[in-house]
Amino acid sequence: MKKPIRTRRIMFLNCVMKLYRNVGCRTKARALLPRVAAIPITIVLAALAIHSCCGAGTNAGGSEISATAKVAARAGTLRVVEHRSPTGVSARILDGERLVFDGLVGGGGLLLVQPAGRSVVSYRESKRENGRMSLTGGNTNGLSFSESFRQVAPDLIERTVTVTATSDQRYYIDLGWSVAVAGGFYSFIGKEAATKNYTPTCAGPEFGGGSYQTFPFLGCRASNTLYGIIGDSPGLWENRCFFRFDVENRLLSLANGDGSARRVITIPRELDATTVYRAAFDGWQHIESGQTQSWKTWIFASPVQSLYDIQLAAHLALANGKGFNQSGLEAILRNTSYLLLRRNLLRTESDHLFISGVGYGWKQWVSDSFWMSRALDDPGYDAQAHAAVFFERINYEDNAQYYLIWSAIVKRAGSQLDARTVGRAYRFIREHEHDGLYIPPRLTPEKPIAKTYHDQLPYDDDDAPSSNQGFHCGALLAAKELGFPVTDADIERAIAGYRRMFNERGGYFATSLKQQNHVGQDALYGEVLTFAVFGRRLLPDDMVRRHLETSVRIQTPYGMRVISNADGSLLEGHSGAYVFGGSWFLNDGANYLDGLIHGMDPKWVDERLLWRLGKELAYMPAFHESLNTVKGQPHGHHLYSWNSGFWWLRREVCKRLNLSGPDPLEAQLDQELGVSRVNGFLQLQPEKARLRPQE
């Protein structure tokens, strides 16, 4: 980890011009120098105020401008004002007195698109009340509109557009803005130097593939300030989210449709071995006469110095808007879950589900959706995602065990269960149980894989992977709670089978009962989940302690290999990526949490977790599927699904252990990220950050 590169110390006379060009003096990108005669007197006075800093020394970070001066660069407050024109009233966004965002088209703030054409929505009236500015009286083509702007925090505004129909309609609206400040455009994955379109919703195999944009964020970096727009979860936009960076016209477009024609979409059969996903779909929002729909976005500003800062600032803004804001870690992980929520448009079991990543399409796997539902921590969506599960998603790997544990959680929250599917899941795990061991069947007859979450790893047909066994013990506890005929002896037999997987001589959990020479770093997270949900420890303290001591000794510089030889080396033919010896954060994180459960020093546990988080977040503030343990680079989707559950898992483990108060791990990570919590909201302070990509 290395701090961002600092600019060299400069003399006072240069500081006047440099401050005007680049308040904060922290970036390598410079705006064109205007005529000196155009420098406002306020800038000159500001330069005089920092003369002692520029000429007399540097701060601890080596920058020529103090941290106080840098904070002062964001002293302005983002605010919304009304704009009156001959066509009506619309909204503008100002930073102090500086115009930042204006209406997309001709004085209007909202672009309406219908099959018959386009209209600009303006309003007749505006008013301010209780910290909100409201615009009302927008009517066109059978639709009425109103907008409200709520100041959530000094640099965060929530915008809600409400649409009511007087007749059945197809439409979509563009919630974007015209950009009034100079600067480069950015999406979450990087700078957008040319005009480009993205969709985080219609990018899966049912649409022929597409971009891997997950975060509906558009921004403009004006020197060291980011001005951004964030769309709501695509699951609340009927899976219709489209955005465009129009570089030539300085427009940021964020729409809830694209006007495309109705067609049948389907996930190709060869990409899913279990079922059919198929539906009719178009690029329009549909509204019936008398119906009201609401669409939410957020507008924000933040100090930034790098792409990493831009990505993190977007996270913090969404988290502040949603209340996921006790820490930067919570923000990143719960945002991940929220942004992967989708309408269940290809199946009929429920209204919503969670996708594992934008490249997988509108389907959910049991394990991933379980962890995302834990992270979102919303009983309504939890019940919906649980209801989306059907048996063909249950009868392989550890899915039936997850489903039963999930069923107990959903029932505790007061929701109804599908008794038929729950019963089938229970019978499935008992039919594939031998002497307390869960022996997973093949998903397809010709391949000995798809037996654990790490689905490409092969296991013999009579073998019991340790990855599943902890979940199996928890599933039996869940089944007993749900009223199935599970005895205490059944549970003890499963626990005994779990303990048999420990390699006594090597001091580690093997990947399975038969593959004793292979270390399995996915062996413990089933026990951690069982403890979190049921308060039951399954393994002896010494067994867990020895496994962790061995794991720390043999792990790579980038984390624990999910499977390795006893000395930590790669198996023959493995690359160090993905399931072939990659490091998966939820596995590593749960291993350390299991040490906490079994009495290991909390300080040591947090130190190890902080180290592993640093590796995970070294490239961008997002959790990926895995890390390559040879190169240290992320592998697979960014903002990957199941990692989001770590936030909930740690919270629940700490509750069970009666560890209360602020989480020291989250506080330490915030210091690394340059995140602070002020007046109940997360703020980014890039100049204090230590965790950033090396340049």
**Do 383 and 286 lie in a common domain?**
no
Q: Tell whether 558 is covered by a domain.
A: yes
pLDDT level of residue 63 (50, 70, 90 thresholds): very low
Q: 427 vs 5, which has greater pLDDT?
A: 427
At residue 52, the pLDDT reads 31
Is a pLDDT exceeding 60 seen at residue 51? Answer: no
**Do 433 and 491 lie in a common domain?**
yes
Convert the pLDDT of each residue in 469-499 to its tens digit. 999 999 999 999 999 999 999 999 999 999 9
Q: Tell whether 157 is covered by a domain.
A: yes
Q: 61 vs 179, which has greater pLDDT?
A: 179
For 39-48, 303-312, 368-377, which range has the lowest pLDDT when averaged over its residues? 39-48
pLDDT level of residue 273 (50, 70, 90 thresholds): low
**Do 335 and 445 lie in a common domain?**
yes
Q: In the beta sheet, which residues pair with residue 88?
A: 85
At residue 107, the pLDDT reads 66
Convert the pLDDT of each residue in 633-655 to its tens digit. 999 999 999 999 999 999 999 99
Question: Whose structure tokens read 């709520």?
Answer: 150
What sign does the dihedral 210-212-213-214 (CA atoms) show? positive
Q: Of the candidates 72, 100, 120, which is a domain's last residue?
A: 72
Q: Residue 197 has which token pair?
A: 């379109």
Q: 208 vs 436, which has greater pLDDT?
A: 436
Q: Residue 79 has which token pair?
A: 């605010």
Predicted TM-score of the model (pTM): 0.89
Q: Of the candidates 271, 290, 314, which is a domain's last residue?
A: 314
Q: Tell whether 190 is covered by a domain.
A: yes
What sign does the dihedral 432-438-443-449 (CA atoms) show? negative
Q: Tell whether 218 is covered by a domain.
A: yes
Q: 12 vs 381, which has greater pLDDT?
A: 381
Is a pLDDT exceeding 90 seen at residue 513? Answer: yes
End-to-end CA distance of the chain: 10
Q: Tell whether 119 is covered by a domain.
A: yes
| Number of independent structural domains in the chain | 3
Is a pLDDT exceeding 70 seen at residue 196? Answer: yes
> CA–CA separation, 252 vs 222, rounded Å?
14
**Do 415 and 537 lie in a common domain?**
yes
Q: What is the DSSP string of 445-491?
A: TT-S--SSSSTTS---TT--BHHHHHHHHHHHHHHHHTT----HHHH
At residue 591, the pLDDT reads 98
Task: Kindly state the percentage of the chain with pLDDT values over 70.
Answer: 88
At residue 23, the pLDDT reads 32
**Do 336 and 287 lie in a common domain?**
no
Question: What's the mean pLDDT when you consider all of the chain?
Answer: 89
Task: For residue 340, give the CATH number of its domain.
Answer: 1.50.10.10
Is a pLDDT exceeding 50 seen at residue 39? Answer: no
What sign does the dihedral 339-343-345-347 (CA atoms) show? positive
Convert the pLDDT of each residue in 135-177 to its tens digit. 999 999 999 999 999 999 999 999 999 999 999 999 999 999 9
**Do 230 and 351 lie in a common domain?**
no
**Do 62 and 205 lie in a common domain?**
no
At residue 272, the pLDDT reads 81
**Do 196 and 67 lie in a common domain?**
no
Task: Kindly state the percentage of the chain with pLDDT values over 90.
Answer: 85
Q: Tell whether 684 is covered by a domain.
A: no
Convert the pLDDT of each residue in 108-124 to its tens digit. 779 999 999 999 998 99
**Do 19 and 114 lie in a common domain?**
no
Q: 58 vs 287, which has greater pLDDT?
A: 287
- Please compute the mean of the pLDDT values over residues 297-316 and round it to a whole number: 98
Is a pLDDT exceeding 70 seen at residue 257? Answer: yes
Q: Of the candidates 264, 288, 314, which is a domain's last residue?
A: 314
Convert the pLDDT of each residue in 515-572 to its tens digit. 999 999 999 999 999 999 999 999 999 999 999 999 999 999 999 999 999 999 999 9
Assess contact for 146 and 89: CB atoms under 8 A. Answer: no
Q: Tell whether 319 is covered by a domain.
A: no
Q: What is the DSSP string of 627-690?
A: E-TTT--EES-SS-SGGGHHHHHHHHHHHHTT--SS-HHHHHHHHHHTEEEETTEEEE-GGG--
> CA–CA separation, 234 vs 215, rounded Å?
9
Is a pLDDT exceeding 70 seen at residue 219? Answer: yes
Q: Is 129 exposed, middle or buried (0-12, 13-18, 19+ CB in 10 A)?
A: exposed
**Domain hosting residue 67, numbered range:** 12-72
Is a pLDDT exceeding 60 seen at residue 7? Answer: no
Is a pLDDT exceeding 70 seen at residue 596? Answer: yes
Q: Tell whether 474 is covered by a domain.
A: yes
At residue 209, the pLDDT reads 81
Q: What is the DSSP string of 562-606?
A: SEEETTSPPPTT--SSTTTT-B-HHHHHHHHHHHHHTT--HHHHH
**Do 309 and 356 lie in a common domain?**
no
**Do 151 and 55 lie in a common domain?**
no
Task: For residue 249, give the CATH number of its domain.
Answer: 2.70.98
Query: Residue 649 half-sphere exposure, CB side, CA atoms within 13 Å?
Result: 29
pLDDT level of residue 274 (50, 70, 90 thresholds): confident
**Do 467 and 549 lie in a common domain?**
yes
